[in-house]
Chain A
Amino acid sequence: MNINFWFLKGIFKGIKTEKFPKKAPLDIAPWSTALVGKGNVDCPVEAIKDGKWNFEKCIFCRRCLPEYAPNGDTAIYKVSGNDRTFKKSFHLFPLDSGACGACNVELHNIAAPQYDMTRLGIFFTNTPRHADAIVIMGVWTEGMGKVLERALEAMPGPKLVIAMGACAISGGIIGTGVTDKFNADVVIGGCPPNPYTILSALMKARGE
């Protein structure tokens, strides 16, 4: 019989969603977490200066090994503006300004069953008209800069601007960051940021 009971298949697979953020994240790739160490190293993006590590610039290239090493802490983000209005429903409008594709996929990943953003009330939308926040990925490019302006104009208030990944924040190793031209309320570090980092930052952005 060629009938598919997809619904039953889904049920028999069982629950794959993790308990994050109530429980600690599982299975983190080390080079997407905070770096700790001492001393000065030759950092190609000057993320390590005077013995201090700056997540906004770091592209996790491992040049600073063995002086610096990841410590497994996924909380590498900064929230300077939040809005509790979005507590129950938070619609994100992803905007690829000039990304390599890794950030795009990682953002897409927070919808994967392991993370399941919808259980936390986070959703994607295809139009800024329905968006609460715009998530910018990738370096600033001239064409997309204009698109970003139009998108911000089209968004209803209150709204948040989220810059995701080293490229968007500081330009990484590729170019200029988007935050140079637009003020971001939330910056999420990483190259690309870990899905756990994205989720925590998004929850923080709505005042949790």
Chain B
Amino acid sequence: MRYYKEGKPKGRFIGSTERYDIYPGIYRKKEERQEPEPHRKTEQEFVFSYGPASGMLESSEIDFYTPGEIINHVDVDYDVRMRKIGITGLTPADALLRIERINGFHAASHAICFLSAVEDAMGVSPPDNVLKNRILQIESERIRSNLLVVERMAQAAGFGVPVNQLSLLREKVSRIIGKHSGHRYFYGSNSLGGTVFEISSLAEEIGEVSDEFRDIFRSLLVSKLFINRLQNNGINMESDSIGPAARASGIMHDARMDSPDLPYGELDFKPVIKEESDAFGRFMVRSMEIGQSSDLIKKVKISNDELSENQVGSVNGKGMARIESPAGDIFYGIELKDGIISAIDHIFPSVKNLENFRKSMRGNIFTDFHFNWESYGIWISELGVVLE
């Protein structure tokens, strides 16, 4: 392993896999944590059940414990759509097809993180061009993901014109990605040590989208009715938050800063930080990161050749990698045995985000729910999945 070593915890806690607790560059055996006390239903409360088939983007059973109006507790149950995906016993290439389909909307982040871990296990390092190309993929994906979050938030307010303009932009990004990588969701665009992401004129095309978005964003910022729905909604004060939710609370947690798997260091990257800590803060961070990602894409200077290289590495080993997905840290840990994956560890951002979302829902009312939910950008497909 290049970057990870077993040791005493240092730095921020990123999350726990089945076997390990992960810190930046450090892993250790998982320590048992006390489960928070389950919510005891009071006499006045009843459970308002929402979902699984309720018109939300994905299926999950959401239970609101409420004595009327005010929400005391939220449970989100995704067992109902639990998928079991076999990874162990496969070659990395076969496993990749399944990893991409854990969360298709963030397929590039998952695939790249997984591949980085595999490459770490094999002890190979892809050429610089490939790594930079991966940054381009992740940043393009981030733009689309953030556009969806902002669009869904506007949708919760029934804000027709911006919703349509944002989905217009999102579809544009999907088409750009489709044109450059051959697939609208980066399926099959990544392989061990290589990528298929043609980058000529990418920066210009993405730049146009980003400029167009900036106009919508500015107009949204002066739409009082919309902003009022977000401010003080879902205040997130957890110190171990990740991704945009952390950065919206003034916490500088970003794998682009503290994970060396991708060469962000060369791009003079500084995270967007906001202090609001509510849904409005997350809206701001998500929106501003669209411009930032577009700038990053402009800064990356690579040529189109040398985008794949078949390196021969060892067939046994252990590797770990972590990258910043649009919603926060993704982590994969791989153990290879004779070229076959024998164990897999993972941390998906939706787990932490869901936990923080549930905490931030206390005291809210149901009409706040959609704004808050969308602001975290939680994907049930990342939660309702077991990797075996």
Contact = CB atoms under 8 A, between A and B. Distances in A.
Contacts of A151: 53
A101 to B, nearest CB: 4
Interface string A11-23: 0010010000000
A10 interface: yes
A112 B54 CA distance: 21
B312 interface: no
Contacts of B179: 27, 29
Contact of A6 (B81, B148, B185, B219): B219
B359 interface: no
B81 A100 contact: no
Given A98-B384, A147-B53, A105 B105 contact: yes
A124 B379 CA distance: 21
Contacts of A139: 83
Contact of A173 (B57, B98, B165, B379): B98
Given A2-B222, A143-B80, A96 B59 contact: yes
B386 to A, nearest CB: 11
A59 B187 contact: yes
A109 B161 CA distance: 16
B381 A141 contact: no
B171 A29 contact: no
Interface in A19-69: 27-32, 44, 59-62
A156 interface: no
Interface residues of A, number: 62
B337 interface: no
Given A98-B384, A144-B59, A103 B104 contact: yes
B102 to A, nearest CB: 6
A200 interface: no
A199 interface: no
A36 B84 CA distance: 32
A143 B171 contact: no
B223 interface: yes
Contacts of A32: 178, 183-184
B101 A173 contact: yes
A142 B102 CA distance: 18
Contacts of A124: 55
Nearest to B101: A100
Nearest to A127: B55
Interface string B58-92: 11000000000000000000011111110000000
A126 B59 contact: no
A82 interface: no
A31 B57 CA distance: 24
Contacts of A9: 161, 165, 219
Given A6-B219, A60-B187, A126-B55, A144 B101 contact: no
Given A32-B183, A98-B384, A174-B85, A147 B57 contact: no
Contacts of B223: 4, 6
Contacts of A114: 168, 171
A63 to B, nearest CB: 8
Nearest to B106: A101
Given A113-B164, A147-B80, A174-B98, 17 more contacts: A7-B161, A29-B175, A29-B183, A29-B184, A30-B183, A31-B187, A59-B97, A62-B182, A98-B81, A98-B384, A101-B103, A102-B107, A105-B57, A112-B170, A112-B171, A143-B81, A173-B98
Interface of A: 2, 4, 6-7, 9-10, 13, 16, 27-32, 44, 59-62, 93-106, 108-109, 111-115, 124-128, 138-139, 141-144, 147, 151, 167, 172-175, 191-192, 194-195
12 contacts: A6-B161, A29-B181, A96-B380, A100-B107, A104-B57, A104-B58, A105-B148, A112-B170, A141-B81, A147-B53, A192-B184, A192-B185
